[in-house]
A = this chain, B = another copy of it.
């Protein structure tokens, strides 16, 4: 059973990756370095979780609702979401931010192309994400579908920017630069926004473009948020008691660096209890969706109960 899910997940990741890559810009006259840096960043692997979730939610819900926008629109948004995820990594890795030299075993964009080009490649990806998402307007021609795309676009903006991902990054970066550990409120804010917000965008935009009603969208939003928090708590737990061989990285790094984690603020036992509670809440929302939920249930379990 588990093997079957993991195969399905890998297949969906492969499909999502193919779609995302097909939306990257062709070489632009005189700007070869920039397109190369953009493609290097988006093309260098990753789990493709966000686009595959968006496409899957669209697929299962558009079967249940009338009035979906069409799958091509969902593909535009899936590509846009992955571009936004990628730009955030390119900028996060900069010397002025996390100063990381390796990502997925490859040199980071700034190491390979220089800092200035990494700043511009991130900017170009963020902008191109909106160009790509807005391209979906070309695929519809009535007011209802225009409205759905406009709603998806606004949702994407709200979860990517200051009220979402960038807001979370800001709180995280400030705490690190000032070396003031996060308190409980701030840690939850970072967990909800730095990674949770784009996860929400994946679930909810899939639903919006499928034509799902507000009740369904609220379930998707809750499911994504609780999954995101459980995922992050699990991350903090694994840093304390994970298996270094399975994880492929050293444990204990959070404690060493004096970083606030769910475990340091709430204790290991509470962290475990809460991770399970958030995961259960996510599953309850998923199960109330008006569609075949088997893949999503397995996905939430996979993300929140992982050992790696």
Q: Identify A28's interface contact among B143, B163, B169, B177, CB under 8 A.
A: B163
A160 within 8 A of B: yes
Q: How large is the interface on A (under 10, 10 to 19, 20 to 34, 35 or more residues)?
A: 35 or more
Among A42-50, A115-123, A246-254, the stretch in contact with B: A115-123
Q: Restricting to A230-251, which residues have a CB under 8 Å from any CB of B?
A: none
Residues of B within 8 A of A25 (CB): 162-163
With A96-B119, A123-B122, A166-B120 in contact, is A33–B142 under 8 Å at CB? Answer: no
**Chain A interface secondary structure, helix, strand, loop or mixed?**
helix
Cβ-based interface call for A8 (8 A): no
Assess the B28–A116 pair: CB atoms within 8 A: no
Q: Does residue A111 face the partner (Cβ distance < 8 Å to B)?
A: no
Min CB distance, A138 to chain B, in Å? 8
Identify which of residues 111-145 in chain A touch chain B, using a CB-to-CB cut-off of 8 Å.
114-120, 122-124, 126-128, 130-131, 134-135, 137, 141-143
Most-contacted residue by chain B among A118, A135, A162, A167 (CB, 10 A): A162
Q: Residue A20 at the B interface, CB < 8 A?
A: no
